[in-house]
Amino acid sequence: MIGTMTNSNVYPYYRDWLKYSWAIAIKVKSRMEETGLTQKQLAEALGCTQQHVSILLNGRVNMTLETIAKLENALDIDLLEEESSVGYLNAPGPNDHSPKVRTSLLVDGYRPGKNKWSHKKTGRYINPGNYDFARMVEGEYVDKTMLISEFSAKLNTANSLVCISRPRRFGKSTAARMLCAYYDCSCDSRALFNGLAISKESSFENNLNKHNVIYLDMTSILLQCKNAKEVVPFLMKSINRELKDLFGMDFDENVHLSEGLSQTNYKTGARFICIIDEWDAICREFANDSSAFDDYVNLLRSLFKGDITGRVFEGVYMTGILPIKKYGAQSALNNFSEYTMVMPGRMAPFFGFTQDEVESLCDKYSISFSEMKRWYNGYNLPGIGPVYNPNSVMKAIEFRTFGDFWAMTSTYEGVRDLISMNYDGLKDATIAMLGGGQVYVNPTKFQNDFSSIHNRDDVLTLLIHLGYLGYNPADRTAYIPNYEISEELQNAVEDSGWEKVSTALRNSEALLNATLSGDEKAVACALETLHQESTSILQYNNENSLSCAITLAYYSSRRYYNVVREYPSGKGYADLVFLPAPGTSKPIMVVELKYDKTAEGAIAQIKKKNYPQSLAGLAGELVLVGINYNPKSKEHTCRIERITL
């Protein structure tokens, strides 16, 4: 890669060198127009990507002398000659306040002819450019650009206000920066989208770099405020200053932001697309300061639920982990269309990786898809099926190993505190899910914040939004989605004071070893002891509850196996099948459970229904395990057979 792009480029309008970069970009563009040279051809001559050329031509890169020399050679031009510097270094730059510069901003969506270039001033929050997205597409970028088509169809309609909530590291920020790069009228992003799905749509040019964008990364904004009370004043003053600077407005920067935007629209005709990333960061970081959060919500209401909304905003796009806060039964901004983990709707394909996308990545980087699936699959969304956490998938590819990358983005203490809350049924529900079960949850009453938690369903719903649980809307059930999350929840449980459950989890390794070694008495004894000591958590009522309890008893097996309940095999469904993870030397285990019958009958059923034959080819050895519980004697019996396939 030629050139140097460092953190100094993030807010380039503060840099003294920018006027030189601007002048060079103007001259390069002029020479390209004169010779008919395309960005693709220039990229080939420079030995870099077309996306990088696009960044250079924006005039906001601190170019090295090597880059300048390569440009001169490729274009047969002198970029640093003294005579040219007079005209070009006096060209309008990012801090130029002349009426001529402002004029190009007065007409919303104005762009000059196809091969012409016009300066548009950039700000930190208003029209910040495409630098962030340019960095992303330089790496491994999974194409989610059809989100642009989905959102563009909503602009200037009754459905133009959108809020997307997904767990952390699910691609929300990447999508927000992509939208910013596409709509922002201060830059030329055509090359960045070249070859991506949206570029092949007939509507691609309709909104490309034709809008004023207000882009707010609330996580970054919080870092600039000493406390929650400073957030709203900081936002209003910062954006008002840029409105004054970029649009030549003369109002007091301390006026309410709604007034500043209204005056700007009235005097210049400018309208905006507002993109707010991590809108709920203030709620998460300052959970105990409800007053400051209410101030923030009231600011959003004044902007997006007031008389200026349709006049000033062409569209609003917000992302967050939590849906919009409710006050009573209604959302604080009930005019937004919300797409959540509980109800993802049409936005489902654009956040998280789909199974096809993950399979493609695994094939490209020669990494086990089955192991990727075991670790990170499990968020099943209506209409698209399995969805994976993008951060975990990409980390597994980067490090060439599978592990708990979730722990790198958050700590388990928050989950521990949630599941330790003293609500009826919460402990039982958690244990059932640890055992591979699904539990009913009503997500509709949750108030969408961290301080309004009143019952078991609120805790489970919050865990769904945080990504610690999956959700099945068809039957309103929650479950643990994958092995990565089960590791996090195990850490939380072991530190929650649930001694009996923690003991069961710790003893599960010994139970697995006894099973694989064929020690029937040891297995029966271990299950007996576990049940006696933990009657409250392992209540057997039928084969289904017995299955849940046995899965919990074998919890550590997930390190080596993909544990499947009700596995379709032969002439029926095996109760539990333990499929070895790639790279392990463990045999397949088939566990059949009986309630008030016999362990011998369980083994006979495995053979009668041809379970072993249906698993042939997956491994060389098969361990058959039959377990029965007698409710009268409260005894367990076990039979184990090892066969070669």
pLDDT for 120 = 59
**Is pLDDT of 98 > 50?**
no
Q: Helices marked H in 250-304 — which ranges?
A: 257-268, 281-285, 290-304
Instruction: Please state the φ and ψ torsions of residue 151, each to the nearest 5 degrees.
Output: -75, -35
Q: From 596, 592, 594, 603, select the one nearest 634 (Cα to Cα).
A: 596
**What is the value of pTM for the model shown?**
0.75
91 or 333: which leads in pLDDT: 333
- How confident is the model at residue 116, as a pLDDT? 29
pLDDT, one tens digit per residue, over 466-502 is: 999 999 999 999 999 999 998 888 888 877 777 777 7
Q: Judge contact between 476 and 442, C-beta under 8 A.
A: yes
Which of 316 and 122 is assigned the larger pLDDT?
Answer: 316
- The torsion of the CA quartet 94, 95, 101, 107, rounded to 10 degrees, works out to 70
- pLDDT tens digits, residue range 295-325? 999 999 999 998 899 999 999 999 999 888 7
Q: What is the pLDDT of residue 539?
A: 58
Q: How confident is the model at residue 8 (pLDDT cuts 50, 70, 90)?
A: very low
Least confident of 189-203, 272-286, 423-437: 423-437
Task: Look at phi and psi of residue 15 and say left if phi exceeds 0, alpha if psi is from -120 to 50, else beta.
Answer: beta
**Cα–Cα distance for residue pair 577/436, rounded to 1 Å:** 12
What does the mean pLDDT of the chain come to?
83
Helix, strand, coil tally for the chain in percent (to 5): 50, 15, 35
Q: Rounded CA gap, 158 and 273, in Å?
A: 14
Joined together, the tokens standing for residue 260 give: 């500043």
Check whether domain 126-227+269-350 has CATH 3.40.449, yes or no: no
Most confident range (mean pLDDT) of 309-313, 574-578, 590-594 is: 309-313
Average pLDDT for 362-378: 93
Q: Is the pLDDT of residue 93 over 80?
A: no
Looking at the chain, which residues constitute the CATH 3.40.50 domain(s)?
Answer: 126-227+269-350
- The encoded tokens of residue 274 equal 């507002």
Q: Could you tell me the two tokens for 166?
A: 């997904």
State the DSSP code for 323.
Answer: P
Q: In percent, how much of the chain has pLDDT > 90?
A: 46
Q: In 179-219, at which residue ranges do the beta strands (DSSP E only) sit?
A: 212-217
Residue showing tokens 């039957």: 475
Give the list of residues 6+ apart from residue 236 with CB closer than 8 angstroms, or none: 254, 256, 257, 260, 299
Q: What is the number of residues in the chain?
A: 645
Q: 500-644 has which fold?
A: Trna Endonuclease; Chain: A, domain 1 (3.40.1350)
Is residue 162 helix, strand or coil?
A: strand
Residues spanned by CATH 1.10.260.40 within the chain? 1-96
pLDDT of 540: 59
Closest CA to 214 of 273, 129, 130: 273
Which residue, chain included where needed, has tokens 């924006």?
A: 58
CATH class of the domain comprising 1-96: mainly alpha
| pLDDT for residue 18 | 61
- pLDDT at residue 371 greater than cutoff 80: yes
Indicate whether 153 pLDDT > 90. yes
What 8-state DSSP symbol labels residue 566? E
